[in-house]
Structure 1
Amino acid sequence: MAAAVRRMKLGSQGMEVSAQGLGCMGMSALYGPPKPEEDMIKLIHHVVSSGVTFLDTSDVYGDNELLLAKALKGGWREKVQLATKFGISNKGGAPKTRGDPEYVREACERSLKRLEVDYIDLYYQHRIDTTVPIEVTIKALKELIDEGKIKYIGLSEASSSTIRRAHAVHPITAVQMEWSLWSRDIEADIVPTCRELGIGIVTYSPLGRGFLSGGANLVANLPDGDFRKNMPRFKPENVEHNKKIFERVNEMARRKGCTPSQLALAWVHHQGNDVCPIPGTTKIENFNQNIGALAVKLTPEEMAELESYASADAVKGDRHVFMSTTWINSETPPLSSWKPE
């Protein structure tokens, strides 16, 4: 099975990862209660043994970093490329974005301790702090590179101009964005910017948070406490409309002899060799199905057909609960305005 997972260069700084990664959030947070630790460690070992070595977490995914620390003991750390994120502070109740130098360093030290590692392969700013010039945040991250605490810098949900300003301070290796058949708002501006600058594109929720795998059935069976229940696209009035998209994808998958999730993931893979989707799962059988997407070939006509099912006007509801914190609102003040306390 391992031979089926090709390797790819992520960005132009030398980072190499498996062409598909694993999003680990749902094991510990947001998608219902945390899953049994022993089962998740077994899953992670299976994933890495199968050739998927690019693992994605964050300091706000519950105890996910602690889970990964346990899973990567005993020689597993050397086999993976570990990505985590900072930038959303939950201190004092309401989440707040922070990109000030003091917080960057604090967050990194905490993640290193929780993950029980000497360095982080790829360290993302999870959300952009619109009160701190991006140059200031990147300079603090560059210092962490110089100290050997992180290897590469990433941004998540950053606008094109934010990416450019950041990249001018230190090369950005990857930009992580939501990108799937039904979330395509990055295509006009952000994707071309990343390609111009030689930045890899890591796509989260490439299966539409599971909707492109299970459609309305997934929504009907979400457990209590699952964050997706708040997603505009998952609201009853929108699901009724959006389920038609899944039904069409499902029908095409039947014709192709694959599953709808494999078809939707294959669509992301066909965006280019600089794109790495990181579908999450908590089940070995779902993971096995997901890596099958690497073998699904799509013609330009099939790509166009798929895209016609999920055009922007065909999808009802925003892609995220907190659209205000996504790339559409990630401009930071000019560097000249920065007066550190």
Structure 2
Amino acid sequence: MEYRNLGNSDLQVSAITFGAWAAGGWMWGSTDRKEAVEAIQASYDVGVTSIDTAPIYGQGTSEEIVGEAVRKISRDKVQLLTKFGMRWDLNSAKGDFAMHTKDNNGKALDVYRYAGKESVIYECEQSLKRLRTDYIDLYQIHWPDSTTLISETFEAVSRLIEQGKVRYAGVCNYSSAQIAEAEQTLNIVSNQVAFSMVNRGIEAETVPYCIKQNKSILAYSPLQRGLLTGKIHSSYTFQEGDHRASSPHFQPDFIEKTNVLLDKIKPIADSKNASLGQLVLRWTIERPGITIALAGARNAQQAIQNAQSIDIQLTTEEIETINQLVEGF
């Protein structure tokens, strides 16, 4: 495995990081806790030391699974990355309305993007309990909250850092201007944003800014939620509750277009005895400005395959060939 520092911090994370959204089941149809725990532990056994989760993933389920999985691992050998600012459990509406959704039991939920000071502190305490730890390595705001001053949000995070409950602060889905504003309160080491071969919008502004300011980019959905594995076809049937069924990236025309791209890069994967998914993950962490790729897994086999993508060695010519095909897409 390769390990990389986040921004200007001394926090080293694995270049392939375990993304625990799907492990929580929410918006993915279901979860098998035993398999999810085994996936995280198997991932660690092959060098993946970093795990990214969030309270909203299964309304605490994902964090609980992560906490259970790392019980048998020495705490100082793993990096726990979690988030705050997506509240489904408020007595009254606060923040920006995010979505109508359902929990894993089918109960209706309204989710709000809210990062008021007391809410941030409350959420941290809940996450620490679920994760079974006394500190969080990277604490990230999940989405911007337009109803709360950025300075207020990060004053709360700064207090948590002073108390030793958080080591470093990060953001997710932030613009360059929002990062710059947060920086006026405390050091921001990373921005977690969506990035994949077929979703490269961050390369226009976010990537150049983060490179210049020495902020790490944590790429989420690098496999475009499974689309770039080559296992999705235009007539694919999703489980009930799987959010991908209504996603623009999973409509028949886009799936077919993507699979044409994958067919063109498959010979490179074959020459490395690698799967398409493994090749895509390796390509992702070779991109300028991308520090780590978050890769989800529902079972141990998937987790190990994701981790083994680090073993692929791509030549300059092979990277350029893939880049040209991606540009053509």
TM-score scaled by structure 2? 0.87
* Distance in 1 of aligned mates of 2:235 and 2:36: 23
- The 1-side partners of 2:308 and 2:69 are apart by 24
How far is 1:217 from its partner?
A: 3.4
Q: 1:208 aligns with which of 214, 224, 249?
A: 224
Contact 2:284-2:290 at 8 Å conserved across structures: no
Query: Cα gap change, 1:276/1:218 in structure 2, threshold over 3 Å: closer, same or farther?
Result: farther
**Equivalence for 1:65:** 63
1:236-258 deviation digits (Å, cap 9, x = unpaired): 24323332222223244224442
Q: Is the 8 A contact 2:208 2:289 kept in 1?
A: no
- Rounded to whole Å, the distance in 1 between the matches of 2:155 and 2:243 is 34
How far off is 1:75 after superposition? Answer: 4.3
Shift of 1:306: 1.8
Instruction: Give the corresponding residue for 2:196.
Output: 180
Which structure has more strand as a fraction of its residues?
2
The amino acid that maps onto 2:18 is L
> How big is each residue's C-alpha offset from its partner over 1:130-173, in whole Å with a ceiling of 9 and x where there is no partner?
12222221111111101111111010000011111112321111
Alignment partner of 1:153: what SS? strand
CA contact (8 A) 1:84 1:123 kept: yes
8 Å contact kept, 1:265–1:290? yes
Contact persistence 1:178–1:206 (CA under 8 A): yes
State yes or no: 1:50 paired with 2:46: yes
1:133 matched to 2:131: no
SS in 2 for 1:154: strand
The offset of 1:178, in angstroms, is 1.1
| Partner Cα separation in structure 2 for residue 115 and residue 138 of structure 1 | 22
In structure 1, what is the Cα distance between the partners aligned to 2:44 and 2:203? 30
Secondary structure of 2:203 counterpart: coil
Partner of 1:338: none
Judging changes above 3 Å, is the alpha-carbon distance between structure 1 residues 71 and 215 closer, same or farther for their aligned structure 2 residues? closer
Give the equivalent residue in structure 2 for 1:258.
274
| CA gap 1:74/1:254 in 2 versus in 1, 3 angstroms | closer
CA contact (8 A) 2:35 2:300 kept: no
Counterpart selection for 2:86 from 85, 88, 99: 88
Q: 1:218–1:172: structure 2 CA closer, same or farther, 3 Å change rule? A: farther
Letter in 1 for 2:187: P
Residues of 1 paired with 2:264 and 2:52: CA distance? 30
Question: Taking every aligned residue pair, what percent have the same amino acid on both sides?
Answer: 31
Q: For 1:205-284, what aligned pairs fall within 5 Å after superposition?
A: 205-217=221-233, 220-272=236-288, 275-284=291-300
Q: Which runs of 5+ in 1 are unaligned?
A: 315-341
CA distance in 1, matches of 2:301, 2:234: 16
Q: How far apart in 1 are the matches of 2:258 and 2:293?
A: 22
Match of 2:28 among 15, 26, 32: 32
1:69-218 to 2 correspondence within 5 Å? 69-91=67-89, 93-217=109-233
Match of 2:96 in 1: none
- Tell me if the contact between 1:9 and 1:274 (Cα under 8 Å) persists in the aligned partners: no
Aligned ranges for residues 15-30 of structure 1 at < 5 Å? 15-30=11-26
Q: SS at 1:220's partner residue?
A: coil
Give the deviation of 1:234 after TM superposition.
Answer: 0.3
TM-score after normalising by structure 1: 0.84
What is the total number of aligned residue pairs between the two structures? 309
Q: What secondary structure is seen at the aligned counterpart in 2 of 1:131?
A: coil
CA–CA distance in structure 1, aligned partners of residues 168 and 239 of structure 2: 36
Judging changes above 3 Å, is the alpha-carbon distance between structure 1 residues 291 and 14 closer, same or farther for their aligned structure 2 residues?
Answer: same
Q: Is the 8 A contact 1:215 1:247 kept in 2?
A: no
Which residue in 2 is equivalent to 1:318?
Answer: none
Instruction: State the distance in 2 between where 1:192 and 1:241 align.
Output: 28
Q: What SS does structure 1 have at the residue aligned with 2:317?
A: helix
The match for 1:6 is 2
